[in-house]
Amino acid sequence: MKDFITQLNPAFDHRNRLGIMSILVVNDWVEYNTLKELLNLTDGNLASHLKALESSEYIRVHKQFVGRKPQTTYGVTDKGKEAFKAHLDTLEAILTIAREGEDS
């Protein structure tokens, strides 16, 4: 079990980052306000988690103007998809071991 724990990606330790990545891996691009509403986060809280994921190169940001209003959207990178999948695979392995222990 100890080996599995070390395989978890610390970038996804926080539930808000798990939520962001879960949303982004199933959508091409998601607007900032949509993420904020879906995850029920404040601007500052969401921005800090997005910045952490962006600095790890797990997400990319696209800024544009729609009419006269700025619009910021986020998408997951290939590196982010791979890292998130590996993290989920490790979580699944840990859960499998835990469930097998319950059956004993």
Query: Domain locations in the chain?
Result: 2-99
What's the CATH class of domain 2-99? mainly alpha
Strand partners, 75: 60
Give the number of other CB atoms < 10 A from CB of residue 27. Answer: 15
pLDDT tens digit string along 42-99? 999 999 999 999 999 999 999 999 999 999 999 999 999 999 999 999 999 999 988 8
pLDDT tens digit string along 1-36? 567 788 899 999 999 999 999 999 999 999 999 999
Closest CA to 21 of 68, 74, 72: 74
User: In whole angstroms, what is the distance from residue 104 CA to residue 95 CA?
Assistant: 15
User: In whole angstroms, what is the distance from residue 13 CA to residue 102 CA?
Assistant: 25
**Residue 11 · residue 17 · CB < 8 Å:** yes
DSSP string, 4-45: HHHHS-GGG-SHHHHHHHHHHHTSS-EEHHHHHHHHT--HHH
Q: What per-residue confidence (pLDDT) applies to 104?
A: 56
pLDDT band at 103 (very low <50, low <70, confident <90, very high): low
Q: What per-residue confidence (pLDDT) applies to 87?
A: 96
pTM: 0.88
**Residue written as tokens 């959508």?**
27
Q: What per-residue confidence (pLDDT) applies to 7?
A: 87
